[in-house]
Structure 1
Amino acid sequence: MSEPLLEVKRLKTYFPIKKGLLNRTTGYVKAVDDVSITIRPGETFGLVGESGSGKSTVGRTIVRLTDKTDGQVLFKGADLHALSPQDIRRIRPRLQLIFQDPYSSLNPRIRIGDAIGEALLDHGLSDAGNVRDQVKEILEACGLSVAHIDRFPHEFSGGQRQRIGIARALVLNPDLIIADEPVSALDVSIQAQIINLFKRQQQQRGLSYLFISHDLSVVEHLCNRIGVMYLGSMVETASRDDLFRNPLHPYTKALLSAVPLPIPKLKRERIVLQGDIPSPVNPPAGCKFHTRCPWAQEVCSQQVPEYRNAGSDHWVACHLV
């Protein structure tokens, strides 16, 4: 088995809550609380969960857009959060992030050719004489016309702007792309085009992805392994086939029960969770999910479940398993 490309070990990201005239810290928002992920070369790891579960914060912490509180982020064996600014700058082309909102991530005053090509110049990966040709090549690879190179972001549709975001990441020829909800705001037909683009580029370039999404049907189509997050913590990790065939955690079962079936006549027991997701400022004691779990027992409110291997590299944090 190949060595891991990315290892996230017991990652924690807390945001302080400041109050009063003295701006004192009165608590913390525990956005990411003890998350571990391993991604190997050529693999796509899907990270799923409700809004507010901490998925996007994991992605932003990995690339150091957000500082970690504890844990390690190892990329090709190097601890990203321990590197100097000069060293992290050298690694950045190998590790790219595609943002959730393709419009706000683009400067409205910069033509897309310049937006895509500026990183090549900034990192010394191309010179001014060749960068335009490289931008045209990546635009065509992403399903855009070379005639688009001198247009501004507002002249494109949502799907086209997402392709621009993908092109901006791919032009640096990275090893790993973190895609944060890249298709959530797009029509279904455009979603299919973007997903096929991801798969095609992976086959051609040997890319690895951390694919962050709340849409399990998209994740099933694209990912090799899947991790399920709830309230900042990982509750289950397994291969795609194992997770969809035999979900172990009650939260995973509830998420899967909401996925529409391709054949309307088929029926699946629908698990409707009661209440809202608790606040990450003051998460419940014991298992964080016990306040909404239909099968919760007394032990669930008293002890934090161990995150353990239930067999065949299928990890779960649940007292009931």
Structure 2
Amino acid sequence: MSEPLVQVSQLKKYFPVRSNLFGKKTGDVKAVDGVDFTIRRGETFGLVGESGSGKSTIGRMLLRLGEKSEGEILYKGIDLYALTREELRKMRPQMQMVFQDPYSSLNPRIRIGEAIGEALIEHGFVGKGEVRERVLEVLHLCGLAAHHIDRFPHEFSGGQRQRIGIARAIALDPDFIVADEPVSALDVSIQAQIINLLHDLQESRQLTYLFISHDLSVVEHLCSTVGVLYLGSFVEVASRDELFDHPQHPYTRALLSAVPIADPTFKREKIILKGDIPSPLDPPSGCKFHTRCPLAQEVCQAERPALRDLGAGHLVACHLV
């Protein structure tokens, strides 16, 4: 088993709610509410869950793009939040991000050659005379042509822009990439190309991914370990095969029942969850899922279940498992 690259312990992120702009605090939005997980070198850890479950907030905190409320994040054994500004700047090339919307992450006034090359110069990877050659190299790796280097972002399709976003992320030769729903805005045929590109780059450059998505069919194809989030907490964490073949938590089963299957003869009962996801400002007591769970009992309302290991690293937070 490979060594841990990222270790997260009791990570929390609360956003204060105030009565008005300068008023006193009236509560907290509990976006991330005490998560623990490890991402091993060379693997792809998938984060799944409904919108508002805290996936993107976790991804941003793993790169220290936002402040945490509590907890610890170790990258290669180093506490990210203990680093000074200068120490963090030196570590930045090792940790990169691919955003959901590639167009909004690119400056519309800058040619893509400059957008990719500016970080190479800023961090001293190459001199000004060598930057064009390095940019052409990463563009080629990401399936783009040499003549694309002098074009502006609006001259590309959505799939090409995402390739540019990936090229910019790998230009600094990172070890770890957070991919925040990188294919959700793309057509299905283009999604497959981008997923295959991410997979090929992982193999050729020994990359480690945190892959954030709400599309379980994509997660099944790309990820080796999957964590299922609900209202800022994990309800289940397991290897991909174990999670998809033997889901244990009622929420995971409901999510999997909604995944389309390309076989018209196969019939699967779809689990329809009642109600909407509760507000993270006032989450339910006990198990956060009990208000929508078809199997909920009295203990679920009174006591919050711990994340227990059922064996082989399959973790589930449910009183009924």
Bin for the TM-score computed over the shorter chain:
over 0.9
Aligned to 1:293: 293
Aligned to 1:132: 132
How many Å separate the matches in 2 of 1:151 and 1:261? 40
How many Å separate the matches in 2 of 1:20 and 1:117? 43
How many Å separate the matches in 2 of 1:6 and 1:258? 31
Aligned to 2:121: 121
How many Å separate the matches in 2 of 1:20 and 1:200? 50
* C-alpha distance after superposition, 1:200-233 (max 9, x if no partner): 0011001010000000000000010000000111
- Secondary structure in structure 2 of the residue aligned to 1:5: strand
Q: How does 1:41-60 map to 2 (within 5 A)?
A: 41-60=41-60
Aligned to 1:93: 93
How many Å separate the matches in 2 of 1:209 and 1:227? 13
* C-alpha distance after superposition, 1:59-101 (max 9, x if no partner): 0111111100001111000011111001111111001111111
Q: How does 1:252-267 map to 2 (within 5 A)?
A: 252-267=252-267
* C-alpha distance after superposition, 1:26-69 (max 9, x if no partner): 11111011111211111001100001111000001111111000
* C-alpha distance after superposition, 1:235-258 (max 9, x if no partner): 100000000010000000000000
Amino acid at match of 1:65: L
Amino acid at match of 2:59: G
Is residue 269 of structure 1 aligned with residue 269 of structure 2? yes
- Secondary structure in structure 2 of the residue aligned to 1:64: coil
- Secondary structure in structure 1 of the residue aligned to 2:241: helix
Shift of 1:18: 1.9
Shift of 1:21: 6.3
- Secondary structure in structure 2 of the residue aligned to 1:280: coil
Aligned to 1:281: 281
Amino acid at match of 1:141: L
How many Å separate the matches in 1 of 2:67 and 2:287? 26
Is residue 82 of structure 1 aligned with residue 79 of structure 2? no
- After the TM superposition, which of the residue ranges 20-29 and 307-316 deviates more from structure 2? 20-29
Q: Which runs of 4+ in 1 moved over 3 A?
A: none
Is residue 195 of structure 1 aligned with residue 195 of structure 2? yes
How many Å separate the matches in 2 of 1:271 and 1:213? 20
Aligned to 2:29: 29
Q: Identical aligned pairs, as a percentage?
A: 67
How many Å separate the matches in 1 of 2:50 and 2:108? 31
Amino acid at match of 1:78: I
Shift of 1:14: 0.7
How many Å separate the matches in 1 of 2:157 and 2:116? 17
Aligned to 2:182: 182
How many Å separate the matches in 2 of 1:201 and 1:2? 18
Q: What RMSD over aligned residues (CA atoms) do the two structures have, in Å? A: 0.8
> TM-score, normalised on structure 2?
0.99
How many Å separate the matches in 1 of 2:231 and 2:115? 35
Amino acid at match of 2:180: D
- Secondary structure in structure 2 of the residue aligned to 1:97: strand
Amino acid at match of 1:213: S
- Secondary structure in structure 1 of the residue aligned to 2:4: coil
Aligned to 2:302: 302
* C-alpha distance after superposition, 1:290-316 (max 9, x if no partner): 000000000000000011101111001
Shift of 1:132: 0.7
How many Å separate the matches in 2 of 1:227 and 1:238? 7
Shift of 1:111: 0.6
How many Å separate the matches in 1 of 2:309 and 2:89? 37
* C-alpha distance after superposition, 1:146-185 (max 9, x if no partner): 1010111111111000000000000011001000000000
Residue ranges of structure 1 left out of the alignment (5+ in a row): none
Q: How does 1:232-251 map to 2 (within 5 A)?
A: 232-251=232-251
